[in-house]
Homo-oligomer: A and B are copies of this chain.
Amino acid sequence: MGEFSAEPIRTARGAATRARIVDAATDLMRVQGVANTSLDAVLAASKASKSQLYHYFADKDGLVLAVVQRQAERVLAAQETLLRDLASLDDLRRWRDALVDLSRTTDCAGGCPLGSLVSELAESPQPRARLADGFARWEAYLVAGFRKIRGSAVPRPGVDLTELATATLAALQGGLLLAQTTRSTRPLELALDMAIEHVAASLQAPAPG
């Protein structure tokens, strides 16, 4: 308990083995869920052995923790790319379109790789904390973008960019969840459009009067 792995890594070979296991587990748990992915399946997919797995992880919970971390890194890296140059509302709309396209190409299956982990892991303290951290970093990317969108305009009083990002991320997550359920990108489109309108209205100059 409390350790990230049973043993620290001493060699590059060991690090590669560990990464191979985590990557395979991340892929499998993404499509099958955490509880439905057995360690044997992970070992088969990563061509590793039992002793390798238990050399690097204390138990399945330890592996799951690493998987959460890995999935967060994947999602955040993708989002960082999409959001890095965000500087206008049109850029935000292009971000929306990219997410919708991404969802469409996977037939809306799977939902958000990070969001899907929540219902299975949110009652376990350590995974929950890492998921929360992942979402917080995601929000930070949005906040940075919103700041650039607002630019040098007069800040509208009472508008908190962090809260704007939280609402936007909620719309995204809920949109993906409904898209996954209905197998249609429409809920995602509607939710993100609502969020973008909300951002646009909030970043405008104070209403006259």
Contacts and interface: CB of A to CB of B under 8 A. Distances in A.
Contact of A171 (B120, B122, B174): B174
A92 interface: no
A143 interface: no
A68 to B, nearest CB: 11
| Identical chains bound together, number | 2
Contacts of A194: 167, 170-171, 194-195, 198
Interface string A117-139: 11110110000100110010000
A191 B35 CA distance: 30
Interface in A35-68: 35-36
Contact of A180 (B122, B166, B180, B186): B122
Interface in A143-192: 163, 166-167, 169-175, 177-178, 180-183, 186-188, 190-191
A197 interface: yes
Interface in A65-113: 109-111
A166 B187 contact: yes
A170 B166 contact: no
Nearest to A115: B177
A128 B122 CA distance: 22
In the complex, which of the residues A128, A186, A194 has the most CB atoms of chain B within 10 Å of its own CB atom? A194
Given A135-B181, A166-B187, A174-B175, A119 B122 contact: no
Given A111-B119, A132-B181, 20 more contacts: A115-B119, A116-B119, A118-B181, A119-B119, A120-B120, A132-B183, A135-B181, A135-B182, A166-B178, A166-B187, A166-B191, A167-B190, A167-B193, A169-B178, A170-B177, A170-B188, A172-B174, A173-B173, A174-B174, A194-B194
17 contacts: A33-B119, A33-B120, A109-B122, A118-B177, A119-B119, A119-B180, A122-B181, A166-B191, A170-B194, A171-B191, A173-B173, A173-B174, A173-B177, A173-B178, A174-B175, A194-B194, A194-B195
